[in-house]
Structure 1
Amino acid sequence: MDRPPQDDFKCFGEGFNGFPKRLPEDCVEYVVYIVDSKLNSETQVRSRLKEFQSAAIALSKKLLKDYIWQRESFALEVQREDAMPVLRGRTNFGDSVADEWLIVYLLRELSKEFSDAWIRVYDTDGEFLLIEAANALPRWLNPEIAENRVWLHSGQLRVTPLQQPPTPAVKTVPVSRSLSVKEAISFISSSSSNLIHSPIIEEEAFYRLNSDPAQISETFHSALITIPRKLAFILHANPAYISAAVEAFYLRDPIALRPLQSNKPEDLKFPPTDLVTTSVKFTKVGYAQLKSQRFESPAVWTNSMLNSGIEKVLNCAEIGMKVSCGFEMLVADPHNQDKRAVREIKLLLEDVESGEEKLPSDDEISEWARKEDDESWLDIDFADFENELAGKKGGDASRSAASFGDKAAQQNLRKMVERFENFLNDDAAGAEGVEDLDEMDYDDEEDEEDDDSDASTESEDRDVSFDEAEFAKMMREMMGMPPEEAEDAGAAATGKDVARVEEIDSTDEEVDGGDEIRKVMQRMEDELNEAGALNLDPAPRKVAAVKGTATQEERNADLDSEDESDNEDEDVDIDLNLARNLLESLKGQAGMTGPAGKMLSAMGLRFPRDEGEGDT
């Protein structure tokens, strides 16, 4: 019997014909290829990959002792892809972006040891190293063609160029599209020296790694919490269990809360009995998740909570209650039964119940480390935040130790402000920067229907074309500008734009179209005047009294002889209107940061925070 034909369908995780492979959210994937012409057999390549894998394990043990991953750890497995062995790994980092960049650091360090290793690393957003270095990228390197072009090699960031290496038979031609893995590896094998290595791009892409490995320990927070003795024993056996419990608590739903609804302590795996206070290490992300969520204690915990008026004792009890509930939901959820952490926790509980393991005594617990870190990194002070945005201009150096956030937050914030200011100061963009599109604004994918529709598109564009100078003239007339001033202003303001206007024939239809536009603009002017939108005066002509200029009636009586005074009064109206708009913008910020406050701050003006309507 003949076998039915295959439909080439694959699950969404692997992709199928017509649909590209997509990573799950919050995942980073990394692949290691060995490219060495001296390795003639697949066995030799596989052996080299095994050496790389062993080096990765050794480096992890050296740098990541007692490290707590948010969800999944860094791991590499040998796989066979496209008829060649590779090392591949995938890590779900959850909300901890620090885990993702730690993996990049590990891979970069490993690439320094293996000169024949070429490493790709990407996440749900694609080539995130290029995203990090977006301001330093050349125009041709856009997201549409970046796939499989970015590599880690010998501690450097390498980019495959558009040009293919020349051969005697084939001339060099640009490849303005994404490369397949085979094409990329083939390019590396034949012409690895032609890959681009830009120190500027590399500096931007690896900016977050500048403080590694010293900053690895700064991603944790230790706190004293009050928990059941049984749970203290489990966390002492493996502190990494805390991440799974925090996530179970943070992502809980009504079904997950069912085990906590019992009023009998014996129904719980971690009942609120025999409580002890001990130090537990969290990731900073996990600790912030616990602290940020309000959670009513279950009935079985309500009577067991310590009734103390001391804030520190209450905080230990509250965090301990949340951690205990997280572990309770973790081990009770049927969907978690296959997780390694859950299996190990259940084995430890079974050993305690059978008597194979004994719970620690109070004396033993007192010998454990009782580290408690400062929680000030959780607080955001408005003044410190403003100082960071301003780059601590004129700030007190003695305050640097107690500045906004932790060191990583300070560096990221300064980098963000620096890039934004560079963008604003980019003179190359110009006022018409939106029109100066580069390659990133166009889709490089070929469309078979484009050629067929060119003629019709040009016809449609010509139909909707209009004389920009004529339109600008009508707008000036609508605003009430005198003809002489309109001609001067038009020559100065629209000279550059008119040069780009498409030349069209002056026909009777266009004249009729101009008349129609005038009618429409006249109706718009009437409606705007009726609504008062074109009145720039903030109040009746009281401004004249401020400057001592003539009144409206006097100017109407002798307009020709009062041109200078009229212009002076007009300037006052515009300035006063501008001041009113600035003040209204500041009021709309409600004392927070905003465009008006930032602009005035750059000019050296400081305004107090908004204190409400009653105080203004």
Structure 2
Amino acid sequence: MAEQNPFTNIFSHSNSPPSNDTVFFSIYPDFSLNSTSTPITSQLQSLHIQILQTLSPYTSNYIWQHQPFTLTPTPTPTNPTTPPHLSGHLRYGDNLEDEWFVVFLLFQTSKHFPNLSIQVNDTDGEFLLIETAFHLPKWVNPETSTNRVFIRAGSLHIIPNSLIPDTRTPSVQESLILLSRPCNSDKTVAPERVQRQLESRLREYPDRAHKNVHRVRVRVPVSVAKVLKHEPCLISIAVEGFYDRDIDTMKFASKMERFLGGGVGGRGEELVRVVVRMSRAMYAQLMQQTFNAPKCYPVMPSRSDVSGYMEAELGMKIACGFEMIYQLKKRQGIEGKGSSWDAFRRSLERSGYFEGLLPGSKEYKRLMQNAEEYYKNSSLHERESAILSAPVRRIDEILALPESANDFKDQELPPSDDDSWLYGGEDELNAALQERQKEMELYNSKRKQKAKEQDGPSNGSDNFDLKDISKSMQAFVTKVASYEGAEVPDESNVKDVDFDVDRFMKDMESFVRRRGPEDTGSDVDIEEESPSDMEFDESEDEDDIAEPAVDNDEEGTAFMHSYSDALNEELKGSTLSNTFVRANEQYVKKSEGTSNSTESMEEDFTPVDVDFNLVKNFLDSFSSQEGLPGPASNLLGLMGLQLPPDASKGK
């Protein structure tokens, strides 16, 4: 393998813990599944070079937000269920285009190397499934998709339940073996609708990636112009230094020791015009922040020269960003206290090394000094220092080159790209939202159509049958409920509730007899008499059993009449009865006397129309929601019903 350029790792942060805006990817070649093959390390290195060469036309002129697309051979993974592979991760920050450009590169890799299986995810999980959520099989969810989603031969593959039940999470090795078998290629490929959704997102690349690069004219000190000339990709760390600045790093910008020598007026250093290439996200980060030039900065054009001042102001932000990140990396490189030191210190704290001492105390400082000495003598310190110092060393090398302001004069520079996208992105956002809305509407319409094909209740807004509410509720109450929730009517193959009516009526009757008409005591201590809500002691009914036996049917009928009369008597003294609509829609009076007789007028409670009252209450509740989400629409939605909007509102 050819010797690697030491400056290709300027952005390498292999020891840093990944942040929340990171995409991870792994490439598994089929030959890694065979441990008896030729030395795996040389094969991985050869594949590594071939992949980078294949992707070079797409990545050579692209400006990454934080770090470039890289791959690292892993010939001996720490996990025994993971075969040798190539892996990498990339922090995309505020530039989501970087993440999808990585996905495009991985699909291109799988097309050129069909014997590879590729995994890609981010801190949200399987974001490719999130993108295609409306088209996935019902069984696919975050719990069942682990180690089942791969890119292979230019298509997305999802290992189905027919090969591995969804009750079990396969290992990476097991999934790769299934994918490598030609007989399974048709079984694992994702549905056509899923493939089309991904293709519609990726078909704009690589043109979209190049469109994401913004060119702009700036006026910068000669030292900054030299760095951008030889390492244009370093613009990313300059923007990072400016955008993530704090009080400490702003002190570096106030002196500009490295790029202006710290003298007043920049020691006479001229501002030269250059064209800088950066991502749109970087350009927005620079433009949307106000920053005053330090006193030592060269004199900028007058504000009356709008174009010249904007070029110089943008260049000043870039120059200050270079100074801040240079000094920060230099200090971190000397100390070697990057992410590895932070991880080392946290491990000491977890292990109780500091013995609960207060930070700043004499003993705490002594233990910290011992820890720092140990860390400086470890290999972690040396490796961390080399990584952090890489940009510093490269900048020093460039600034040592014999170039002057004359080398940047009399150059024909292309004009700056139009930046109207920075201020007029509303149309693009609305277009994206409308596209998602159409996707949701299509998904909902297909669900409704499928419900109709399954002889479900009609839910069309133009031909809605109110009887469907009553039918669905009757179906609902016959379903079962468990710790997972109640079953909705459109579920199939659900058994009815096992309910013994005779036993229930017998228990109710015995309960009423024990209480008796003379029992006027309170209902407290009922729970003390019975250890369970559904548990009754039959030994307490011995006196009842000793009574003369009567026909069970006659006894049940007498009890129901008595129970009904008791309920009616209770309702007479309340207004609850007024809330129900009855079969003949009016009360029937037993007495129609109009005198002020001492005899009270008794009402004959005619049967309540249960279905009508149910539908009426549903409609009242739905109308009170005024189009907003609520209990009525939620419950009806679970039953597969969708009420049309209330046309009477607003009239």
Normalising by the smaller structure, the TM-score range is 0.5 to 0.7
In the alignment, structure 1 residue 135 sits paired with structure 2 residue 137: no
Contact kept, 8 Å, 1:259 with 1:268, in 2: the verdict is: no
- Aligned equivalent of 1:422: 442
Does 2:48 correspond to 1:58? no
Question: Within the alignment, does 1:343 sit opposite 2:390 as a pair?
Answer: yes
Comparing 136-145 with 357-366, which one deviates more in the overlay? Answer: 357-366
Q: 1:294 maps to what in 2?
A: 290
Cα displacement (A) at 1:134: 0.5
1:197 counterpart SS class: coil
Q: What letter corresponds to residue 209 of structure 2 in structure 1?
A: I
Please name the residue that 1:75 is paired with: 70
Residues 230, 270 of structure 1: 8 Å contact kept: no
Correspondence 1:250 to 2:294: no
Change (3 A) 1:516 1:225: farther
1:276 matched residue in structure 2: 272
> Please, which of 301, 315, 325 is the counterpart of residue 310 of structure 2?
315
Alignment partner, residue 26 of structure 1: 21
2: CA distance, partners of 1:514 / 1:258: 86
Change (3 A) 1:146 1:427: closer
User: Could you tell me which amino acid in structure 1 is paired with residue 60 of structure 2?
Assistant: K
The match for 1:8 is none
Distance change (3 Å), C-alpha of 1:332 and 1:363:
closer
Match of 1:241 in 2: 234
102-111 or 263-272: which moved more?
A: 263-272
Match of 2:420 in 1: 376
Counterpart CA distance in 2 for 1:39 and 1:112 is: 22
Is 1:285 aligned to residue 277 of structure 2? no
1:498 to 2:474 alignment: yes
1:192 maps to a residue whose letter is N
Scaled by the length of structure 1, the TM-score of the pair is 0.59
Shift of 1:78: 1.5
From 158, 161, 179, the counterpart of 2:170: 179
Separation in 2, partners of 1:238, 1:520? 87
Letter in 1 for 2:184: S
SS at match of 1:152: strand
- Among 194, 216, 223, the residue aligned to 1:223: 216
SS at match of 1:121: strand
Q: CA deviation at 1:158?
A: 1.0
Q: Which amino acid in 1 is paired with 2:410?
A: S
Q: Deviations over 1:546-602 (max 9, x none)?
A: xxxxxxxxxxxxxxxxxxxxxxxxxxxxxxxx9xx99xxxxxxxxxxxxxxxxx9xx
Residue 98 of structure 2 corresponds to residue 104 of structure 1: no
- The structure-2 alpha-carbon separation of the partners of 1:341 and 1:62, relative to structure 1 and needing over 3 Å to count, comes to farther
Measure the CA separation in 1 of the matches of 2:332 and 2:62.
Answer: 22
Tell me how far apart the structure 2 counterparts of residues 517 and 148 of structure 1 sit (CA, whole Å). 62
After TM superposition, the score normalised by the length of structure 2 is: 0.56
Q: Return the offset for 1:91.
A: 1.4
Q: How does 1:558-569 map to 2 (within 5 A)?
A: none
Comparing 310-319 and 46-55, the one that deviates more: 46-55
Contact 1:23–1:124 (CA<8 Å) still a contact in 2?
no
Whole-Å separation in 2 of the counterparts to 1:71 and 1:515: 79
Please give the alpha-carbon distance, in whole angstroms, between the structure 2 residues aligned to 1:57 and 1:298: 42
Determine the structure 2 residue equivalent to 1:123.
Answer: 122
Quote the residue 2:86 is aligned against: 87
1:192 to 160, 184, 187: 184
Separation in structure 2 between the aligned mates of residue 329 and residue 102 of structure 1, nearest angstrom: 29
* Aligned mates of 2:29, 2:225 — CA distance in 1: 45
Deviation of 1:250 after TM superposition, in Å, equals 0.9
1-structure distance, mates of 2:575, 2:271: 78
Q: CA RMSD in A?
A: 4.3
Give the superposition deviation at 1:282: 1.2
Conserved 8 A contact 1:126-1:147:
no
Whether the 8 Å CA contact 2:27–2:118 is kept in 1: the answer is: yes
Q: Which has the larger radius of gyration?
A: 2
Counterpart position of 2:253: 260
The one-character-per-residue Cα deviations of 1:282-305 (angstroms, maximum 9, x if unpaired) are 11010011111222333434x723
- Structure 2 vs 1, CA of residues 413 and 62 (structure 1 numbering), >3 Å: closer, same or farther? same
Which structure would you say has the larger RCO, counting Cα contacts within 8 Å and 6 or more residues apart?
Answer: 2
- Code of the aligned partner of 1:231: V
The 5-angstrom pairing of residues 463-478 of structure 1 reads none
Provide the C-alpha distance between the structure 2 equivalents of 1:44 and 1:252, rounded to a whole number of angstroms. 47
SS of the equivalent of 1:333 reads: helix
Distance 2:91 2:169 in 1: 26
Alignment partner of 1:297: what SS?
coil
Equivalent of 1:366, from 375, 400, 410? 410
Change (3 A) 1:62 1:427: closer
Letter in 2 for 1:358: P
Q: Return closer, same or farther for 1:425/1:299 CA change in 2, 3 Å cut-off.
A: farther
Q: Give the partner amino acid of 1:313.
A: G
Opposite residue 390 of structure 2, the aligned amino acid is R
Which amino acid in structure 1 is aligned with residue 477 of structure 2? Answer: V
Deviation at 1:43, TM superposition (A): 2.5
The one-letter amino acid paired with 2:215 is S
C-alpha distance 423-231 of structure 1, shift in aligned 2 (>3 A): same
Contact map agreement 1:268 1:328 (CA 8 A) in 2: no
Partner Cα separation in structure 2 for residue 206 and residue 87 of structure 1:
25
Within 5 Å, give how 1:515-594 maps onto structure 2: none
CA distance in 1, matches of 2:571, 2:402: 90
- Quote the residue 1:572 is aligned against: none
Q: Which runs of 5+ in 2 are unaligned?
A: 1-12, 334-384, 457-464, 479-496, 513-522, 524-562, 580-622, 628-644
CA distance in 2: counterparts of 1:77 and 1:490, whole angstroms: 64
Matched, 1:211 2:166: no
Provide Cα deviations, 1:285-342, integer angstroms capped at 9, x if missing partner. 10011111222333434x7232231222221122111111111111111466458696
Query: What residue in structure 1 maps to residue 556 of structure 2?
Result: none
